Structure 1
């Protein structure tokens, strides 16, 4: 639920800035999409790390930031590619004479890009950043599950996410906050 709320606010920021830059300032849609995406990404990072995902004790903060930035770069590439495709084939004169069509196609592309990038971000962040272990242990205590605490702990110890986190702690330079 919190992921969705943060995502909606980030989308409003992204979409609003995109439409301002393309609609009012007649900026190229891919450049405008890049600027709006980066601004909304900063909000998304701050809000996600404060309200959505909890810091994991088994992962260094630098690794959290690296995962977030890496996922964002892939998301930005997907976003810009979809926006570019949305107006592909419109000639340069169409940017001015058919501005309404250009803006409409940009917005349709942005909606598609938002959905694709949202799925990408949720999957990668849930897999690598979320403290699923603590959440699962809490659910185990409150419900009748098939896995015992020992089985769940063993599964967590073998997970890529946990091993990556432990590796990041072991490779954090001296003096850096873990």
Structure 2
């Protein structure tokens, strides 16, 4: 449990830095260039994602020896694309049907609503990213062993190893190693 809390905290620090980049770029594009919020959100999300990938793989998640690097990148990109769709949908929804009779200027309302949507999207996407990356990218072999042993299960080492070898995450990792093109290792 201690390792999970530490990992969540590291994920949070990396996420906060990525969110500051994301919000900064989003607001820069929307406020200064009057860019459409979904386009600005896509650009800001993508740029913060690049930072997030390198920081997450260096500080948050351990490389799994049973998974090829190209599969790690593919899983990260898959989770990012789903996260981008979630992000853009929530941002779009935040300004859908804006009231034109507001007391503040329409642009100010647009920026405020965009930021409210972005705050919600950031939390939803962060949860999505942590869960999918924890399940598929992290070195879960050790975590599974620790979890089963702490629950008081009296599994033998062979039984624990068999559980790991039958997990989807391990099978996906081994498949990726077996299907890595020559010279990519």
Q: Is the 8 A contact 2:144 2:164 kept in 1?
A: no
- Structure 2 distance, partners of 1:113, 1:58, is 33
**Stretches of structure 2 lacking an aligned partner (at least 5 in a row):** 1-8
> Do structure 1's residue 75 and structure 2's residue 83 form an aligned pair?
yes
For residues 145 and 5 of structure 1, do their structure 2 counterparts lie closer, same or farther at Cα, with a shift above 3 Å needed? Answer: farther
Query: What is aligned with 1:61?
Result: 69
Q: Is the 8 A contact 2:75 2:136 kept in 1?
A: yes
- Note the 1:135-146 alignment, pairs <5 A: 135-137=143-145, 145-146=152-153
- Structure 2 distance, partners of 1:147, 1:99, is 63
Query: What is aligned with 2:117?
Result: 109
- Structure 1 distance, partners of 2:176, 2:152, is 31
Give the Å deviation of 1:175. 1.4
Query: What is aligned with 2:41?
Result: 33
**Aligned match of 2:16 in 8, 26, 32?**
8
Superposed CA deviations along residues 61-101 of structure 1, whole A, max 9, x for unmatched, are 00000000111111101101110010011389x9x941111
| Length, aligned pairs only | 174
**Stretches of structure 1 lacking an aligned partner (at least 5 in a row):** none
Give the Å deviation of 1:102. 0.6
Query: What is aligned with 1:46?
Result: 54
Normalization by structure 2: what TM-score?
A: 0.86
Query: What is aligned with 1:172?
Result: 180
- Structure 2 distance, partners of 1:140, 1:85, is 43
Give the Å deviation of 1:24. 1.9
For residues 147 and 4 of structure 1, do their structure 2 counterparts lie closer, same or farther at Cα, with a shift above 3 Å needed? Answer: farther
CA RMSD of aligned residues (A): 2.1
Give the Å deviation of 1:158. 0.8
**Aligned match of 1:84 in 80, 87, 92?**
92
